[in-house]
Structure 1
Amino acid sequence: MNYQTFQPQLDLAPLIKCYWIMESPKDENPQQQTIVPDGCMEMIFHYGDLYRQYLENGENVVQPRSCVFGQLTQPLKIEPTGVTGIFSVRFHYDGFLPFATIPIKEMDNKAISLEKIFGTDGTELERNVLQAKTTEEKIAAVELFLLNRLNMETIDKIVQSTVDTILTANGQMPINELSKRININRRQLERKFSMTIGLSPKQLSKTIRLQSILKLLLNKEFTSLTTLAYDADYYDQAHFIKDFKEFTGLTPKEFYGESLKMSSLFYRTE
């Protein structure tokens, strides 16, 4: 499997975390892969075969050729249908807002086609990216499109400052203390987060906290699961296991024993 990341130009760096590509041949025995929430929205282009997405009700759908995936609030189960060729734009936590044409919150857990979000401009962007012969050409097409649509007025400095505080605290700061630190009413803060990120401050804090644990698990940088829980400032093991299972669909022990190919790629290269 070929997985690579690329950095955006400076004008887009505050909004885009990275670009990435993933390529792999067809697997004769394809298996479901679990993608866990990371707080980042993605603009995805399938230049290979499409992926199947499994829904909560047991049904499945084939993802669009190009789409923006909203915030995940639960594990996402996907499966390749053939040869994998994916080019993706990974936005920072509030990075997609300056380009959004529909409410961010309405995009949670959904893969929404570029045509639905941007109309004929989205269809043209899909065509330009899929016809590009190199990753650099794909990046150039996306950056031209995004820079032409960039609306800096939508960037919320309060949300950015709060996200920085959450990151510094590794997601371990209580929300009441967070709102006091930022000097804003908790309900106002929650409304701002819902509009700009699609998650509440509590959800984002939990995501950041558990992401740090996942990286330690996948890189085998821990002595025991109990130590992991206490290092992440969980009150007890039961609370840790409950949050972890809600986040990944598995207990920490089950997760550690799973073959999480795509997750391993993402976490070990960041």
Structure 2
Amino acid sequence: MDFFPDIQIPAHLQPYISRVWYAAGTAENAFPIFADGRTGIIFQQSGMILEKKQKTLAHSFVFGQTLDPIILHTHPNCPVLGLIFHPHVLPSVFPLHAKELTDECVDMSLLPSVPRVNLDEQLWNTASPQRQFEILFSYLEKIIHPVDRSMQYATSRILASNGKTSLKDLHYQLHLTERTFERRFEQYVGISPRLFSNIVQFQAAMKMLDSGRFSKLSDIAYANGYADQSHFIRWFRKFTGVTPLEHCRNHSILKMDIC
């Protein structure tokens, strides 16, 4: 599998696109997806399957917030391109309420106000990944709208604090009532600000777990703001379907007794 993380995102698209990736394997690829607070678009040449639902996905599809862990499978020699958006960006790319796509993958051609161009044909008739991303960047330029600055500020603060920012302080700083803040957050991000904070907190904890730089699970729990080890394990299992210990064993991370 090949990845091209160094593709340069144009400056005017950086407020929308968090990162890009490309993969082309010689065997079947499996992509485990856990909640990470991001949305985006995937372009794949043939037959990507959503394992949980045994659903064959469109060549070009948009995905919303992922809450339940899933696995995406591709057929051999199937190139895959991904554009990952910042958390608050989805309604600024497509005219929809972000919550409509939470835990969903939708054929991009079925969304309203999407230019009817044969994007798939353009992509797969181009051999160079660099050129393919240039085609995608040009396409996005035609459909994007200004981002919501208040939600940009809120999500960036939550991310910077690894999920530990006071939500009360946030809606006070934005001069919004608590209910208005929650409604707007769900409209642009797809989930509540509290759940988004939980996901960001989980991602920070999983990064520490994957690094192996800890002596016991309680170290990770307390370093990332969980009340105790049990609290950490419950949230980890909710977002991955396995316990932290099972995750370590599955990924050959376990080098010590972490019980």
Q: Same fold (TM over 0.5)?
A: yes
Where does 1:1-270 land on structure 2 (aligned, <5 Å)? 1-5=1-5, 6-27=7-28, 33-47=31-45, 49-55=46-52, 59-117=53-111, 121-122=115-116, 124-152=118-146, 155-259=147-251
Instruction: Report the more deviating stretch, 74-83 or 17-26.
Output: 74-83
User: Number of aligned pairs?
Assistant: 252
Compared CA separation, residues 103 and 179, structure 1 to 2 (3 A)? closer
Look up the SS of the partner of 2:76 in the other structure: coil
Partner AA of 1:38 in structure 2: D
- Give the distance between the partners of 1:74 and 1:123, measured in 2 at CA: 32
Displacement of 1:173 in angstroms is 2.7
Preserved contact between residue 115 and residue 123 of structure 1 (Cα < 8 Å): no
Compared CA separation, residues 259 and 25, structure 1 to 2 (3 A)? farther
Displacement of 1:181 in angstroms is 4.4
Preserved contact between residue 7 and residue 17 of structure 1 (Cα < 8 Å): no
Preserved contact between residue 65 and residue 190 of structure 2 (Cα < 8 Å): yes
Displacement of 1:253 in angstroms is 0.9
Compared CA separation, residues 23 and 217, structure 1 to 2 (3 A)? farther
Displacement of 1:245 in angstroms is 0.8
Partner AA of 1:172 in structure 2: K
- Give the distance between the partners of 1:230 and 1:123, measured in 2 at CA: 51
- Give the distance between the partners of 1:77 and 1:70, measured in 2 at CA: 15
Look up the SS of the partner of 1:121 in the other structure: coil
Displacement of 1:127 in angstroms is 2.0
Give the TM-score normalised by structure 2: 0.89
Compared CA separation, residues 181 and 257, structure 1 to 2 (3 A)? farther
- Give the distance between the partners of 1:128 and 1:114, measured in 2 at CA: 15
Partner AA of 1:87 in structure 2: L
- Give the distance between the partners of 1:144 and 1:175, measured in 2 at CA: 36
- Give the distance between the partners of 2:22 and 2:241, measured in 1 at CA: 26
Displacement of 1:119 in angstroms is 6.7
Compared CA separation, residues 176 and 97, structure 1 to 2 (3 A)? same
The percentage of counterpart residues that share the same residue type is 23
- Give the distance between the partners of 1:127 and 1:114, measured in 2 at CA: 14
Displacement of 1:118 in angstroms is 5.3
Preserved contact between residue 97 and residue 196 of structure 1 (Cα < 8 Å): yes
Preserved contact between residue 94 and residue 144 of structure 2 (Cα < 8 Å): no
1:146-198 deviation digits (Å, cap 9, x = unpaired) = 1112221xx22111111122122210134334433444222111111111111
Q: CA RMSD in A?
A: 2.2
Give the TM-score normalised by structure 1: 0.85
Q: Which runs of 5+ in 1 are unaligned?
A: 265-270
- Give the distance between the partners of 1:193 and 1:99, measured in 2 at CA: 16
- Give the distance between the partners of 1:185 and 1:258, measured in 2 at CA: 44
Preserved contact between residue 166 and residue 205 of structure 1 (Cα < 8 Å): yes
1:203-229 deviation digits (Å, cap 9, x = unpaired) = 111111111112222232323211000
- Give the distance between the partners of 1:87 and 1:38, measured in 2 at CA: 18
Partner AA of 2:16 in structure 1: L
Preserved contact between residue 114 and residue 126 of structure 1 (Cα < 8 Å): no
Compared CA separation, residues 127 and 102, structure 1 to 2 (3 A)? farther
Q: Which runs of 5+ in 2 are unaligned?
A: 254-259
